Amino acid sequence: MKTWKWFATASALALSLTVAQPSLADVSIDDIVKDAETTGDVVSNGLGPQGQRYSALKTVNTGNVAGLVPAWAMSLGGEKMRGQETQPLVKDGVMYITGSYSRAWAIDTKTGREIWQYDARLPEGILPCCDVINRGGALIKDKFIFGTLDAKLVALDAKTGKVVWTKKIDDFKAGYSYTAAPLVVPSEKHGPLIVTGVSGGEFGIVGRIEARKADDGELVWSRPTIEGHMGTLNGKESTMTGKKNATWPGDLWQTGGGATWLGGTYDPETKLIFMGTGNPAPWNSHMRPGDNLYSCSRLALDPETGEIKWHFQTTPNDGWDFDGVNEVVSFDLNGTKAAATADRNGYFYVLNRENGKFIGGYPFVKNISWAKGLDKDGRPIYVPENRPGNPTKSKDGKKGDSIFAVPSFLGGKNWMPIAYSKDTKLFYIPSNEWGMDLWNEPVTYKKGAAYLGAGFTIKPIFDDHIGSLKAMDPATGEVKWEYKNRAPLWGGILTTGGGLVFFGTPEGDLKAMDAASGKELWAFNTGSGIVGSPVTWEQDGEQFISVVSGWGGAVPLWGGEVAKTVAHLNQGGMVWTFKLPKQTAQKN
């Protein structure tokens, strides 16, 4: 009898492993450009290259979302937990995700079973700034493409997970790494292009944006983000970024930071790539008087050449590590082709996306201390006494006067993407209310070593919450509603035609809110903190919602006193997928 049971179990296992897998049709550049218009797939980061993170699906809505139940869940397995910041992609019954330590998976969306897994072989000595996370990949043609912590770009066969090509982005020993989801954009001259940036601003690297051919990874153009450096086009030098020493003193531009670590968006109407740039290096702003272009800026680039068409700098001469990398989301505002971005510095900006002109700017966090506001051109009005002191003017020359700044260097908003609803005309901003003690110190550049020239401690500023999801009107800056969360929010937002806003919390809850009122309508605890971005799609007439759960990211590593408040949270690695029971969906 025991023998028969073993035989039956083994036969069932063999049968499960030979079940036919979904077939993948190629993902075209047209599929990606029109991703926001289709509901049966998710083939771009941001549910469309514009980055609105809006789905027109309304099968799941305010009237029935309380009935959502798990459809399936899959463990990422192993001991490689840490933060899971990926956004899933979905095409032809297959889901593609990345995970911590530069891993990737293909999953059957009907069963939740793994189709293939890829594990990058990372070398010793990698220098990731802020956890070993990965924020997702890109689909184009028959390939799934993502970046690794040792600063490589890997193209996998989407059906098999086998390596098609690998390209080195830069030297990981100098502090370079890569964690963002690549951006795929159309090019009339070169075919689909894979657009990437670089991480490593805290190591004195120089940021840049690159475009490669999707077929073989060949470099087409490169655009440095710090003035004085030369760009390339088709293997030759093209033009200099800005003008050497125009806003940078001496030789500091050579190690000037400006890392492009988050990724970008693309607007099919203006045919422009939008990319944000990080903090200038070092953090000690007294060493580099001037605006320090093009750090802490939003850049609009020509996809054919990589030339900068316009720029908008949010924090000139940044002294607080207020990276300007945050996503630029295209939308229409009263007949104007606009774009919005929520900055680490605590201000929400609305720009004309055709020329970069400032339309409006509004604080989205409370108690901002480093600036009094923005002038008519969107330039900050600084509070001089709230810039950390110059260490060379201190008694010992080793530590400048400390100040308390709001927000902290982890930002009013960090990497976690905002969303825009075409129905409510509101933006939904995952923000954090915190400040920091900050002081400057002397520092010299050394390859592969931290290049800060500052010390800091992050602290909460309210007793009852740090995280705050806000619904903001981009026309007026009015906050229509706010949801307060005790722990910091660190994951992305999804909005839907069903009148819903989905997001996750470090406490592990995936929540659904009424997009108009902010009322909580549903929650499910996934067992570990959510720092990824949810997606939704339609399959066989049903609407599915998925999110990857797994606590980690920068907060436990850099959060100071805040980190102590979340030390009890468990790490993990699970893909959770939800749907309505069919009878519930039919009733509504």
Local confidence band at 82 (pLDDT 50, 70, 90 cut-offs)? confident
Q: One-letter amino acid identity for 276?
A: G
Supply the CATH number for residue 429's domain. 2.140.10.10
Separation of alpha carbons 159 and 91, rounded Å: 11
Question: Looking at the predicted structure, is the pLDDT value of residue 19 above 70?
Answer: no
Task: Determine the 3-state secondary structure of 558 from DSSP.
Answer: helix
CB 426 within 8 A of CB 471: yes
What would the mean pLDDT of 234-260 be, rounded to a whole number? 96
CB 26 within 8 A of CB 391: no
Both structure tokens of 310: 């316009």
Separation of alpha carbons 311 and 294, rounded Å: 8
pLDDT digits (tens, 9 = 90+) for 85-111: 999 999 999 999 999 999 999 999 999
Separation of alpha carbons 546 and 534, rounded Å: 6
Is there a domain that residue 226 lies in?
yes
State the pTM of this model: 0.95
What pLDDT is recorded for position 10? 33
Task: Count other C-beta atoms under 10 Å from residue 233's C-beta.
Answer: 18
Q: How far is CA 375 from the centre of its chain?
A: 28
Is there a domain that residue 504 lies in?
yes
CB 233 within 8 A of CB 214: no
Is there a domain that residue 476 lies in?
yes
CB 329 within 8 A of CB 51: yes
Question: Looking at the predicted structure, is the pLDDT value of residue 560 above 70?
Answer: yes
Is there a domain that residue 335 lies in?
yes
Is there a domain that residue 354 lies in?
yes
CA angle at 72 for the pair 70 and 73, rounded to the nearest 5° = 105
In sequence order, what E strands does 200-307 have? 208-213, 219-224, 230-233, 236-240, 264-267, 272-276, 297-301
Is there a domain that residue 74 lies in?
no
Question: Looking at the predicted structure, is the pLDDT value of residue 315 above 70?
Answer: yes
Separation of alpha carbons 139 and 42, rounded Å: 10
Task: Count other C-beta atoms under 10 Å from residue 478's C-beta.
Answer: 11
Residues catalogued as catalytic: 321
Separation of alpha carbons 379 and 5, rounded Å: 73
Question: Looking at the predicted structure, is the pLDDT value of residue 119 above 80?
Answer: yes
The mean pLDDT of the chain is: 93
pLDDT digits (tens, 9 = 90+) for 277-295: 999 999 999 999 999 999 9
What is the number of structural domains in the chain?
Answer: 1
Is there a domain that residue 2 lies in?
no
Question: Looking at the predicted structure, is the pLDDT value of residue 36 above 90?
Answer: yes
CB 227 within 8 A of CB 293: yes
Q: 30, exposed or middle or buried, with CB in 10 Å at 0-12, 13-18, 19+?
A: exposed
Local confidence band at 77 (pLDDT 50, 70, 90 cut-offs)? confident
Domain containing 143 equals 23-47+56-69+84-587
What would the mean pLDDT of 153-168 be, rounded to a whole number? 98
What pLDDT is recorded for position 14? 31
Is there a domain that residue 321 lies in?
yes
